[in-house]
Amino acid sequence: MSVTSVGIIGAGQMGNGIAHVMALAGYDVVLNDISAEALEAAIARIDKNMARQVSRDLISADDMQNALRRIKSSQDVVEVGQTDLVIEAATENEEIKYKIFEGLVPHLKPDTILTSNTSSISITRLASRTDRPEKFMGFHFMNPVPLMKLVELIRGIATDDATYQTCLGIVNALDKTAASAEDFPAFIVNRILIPMINEACYTLYEGVGNVASIDAAMKLGANHPMGPLELADFIGLDTCLAIMNVLHDGLADTKYRPCPLLTKYVEAGWLGRKSKRGFYDYRGEVPVPTR
């Protein structure tokens, strides 16, 4: 299967990062979102991030200009359907993803590969809501996409080998490394990472340590580059909670019960960096722990 064009649905943090690396690798990109403002912000973010790469001599100014020319923003899903590969990168909500696929499928070319950047939801279940389960798979990038070298490739029960090999080739073309995961809740990275974050939430909830001491303990005691609560704020507490719920519902094991404090923060709208408050308050010059 030959892929020269890529459609990306969702212009948020993940979507604009995927557009960034795809365009730099030479693919023509259609970046889609229902919000014109989100598309405008995404293009500005890509421009800023590529300029940072130029300043660090990671890419040339010509590379940047050529890549930016390859990116087209669109609110029309019909344009996305005419690409060779579609990557759905919307919010981690199963019903929203179903609605996206329902609106997209009638406009897809017969050979278009359809993928999801979901971080936890069943690929088999998502694929069953499309007309091409054999050409559907999980294509899970890590955040921030331009910096992180891993991509999880997840086959559903019906995914054929040609689809997998095509996506593997694209990962290699992006100069990233593929980790093949089976279709179990949260796959590999988040099956390990998010329960660790949830346990850090319990450690805070039970008063074992405060935010600063928990993060310092894991950074200095386990050599983690970010503490688990700082990382949760970076990921988004709503995303962490959604993944924990997928694990708890999908595996029916009490060890995956979401921490009540994590739920409380999400209910308060304290979602981390994107809402300016989470386990840290980001409204001042320096982040301040909220507990």
Q: Can you say whether residue 256 is alpha, beta or left, with left for phi > 0 and alpha for psi between -120 and 50 degrees?
A: alpha
* Tokens (6 digits) for 78: 């019909």
- Is the Cα dihedral 115, 118, 119, 125 positive or negative? negative
Kindly name the residue from 88, 92, 152, 230 that is annotated as catalytic: 152
Task: Classify burial at 262, counting beta carbons within 10 Å of its beta carbon; exposed 0-12, middle 13-18, buried 19 or more.
Answer: buried
79 part of the active site: no
74 part of the active site: no
How distant, in Å, are the alpha carbons of 90, 147, 153, 259 from that of 250? 21, 31, 19, 17
Kindly name the residue from 20, 73, 92, 140 that is annotated as catalytic: 140
Place of tokens 């259609």: 30
107 part of the active site: no
Kindly name the residue from 73, 117, 122, 190 that is annotated as catalytic: 190
Q: Which residues pair with 19 in a beta bridge?
A: none
Kindly name the residue from 16, 73, 117, 119 that is annotated as catalytic: 119
16 part of the active site: no
Q: Report the half-sphere exposure of 124 (CA within 13 A, side-chain side).
A: 10
How distant, in Å, are the alpha carbons of 7, 116, 118, 190 from that of 94? 20, 11, 9, 17
**Active site residues per annotation:** 119, 140, 152, 190
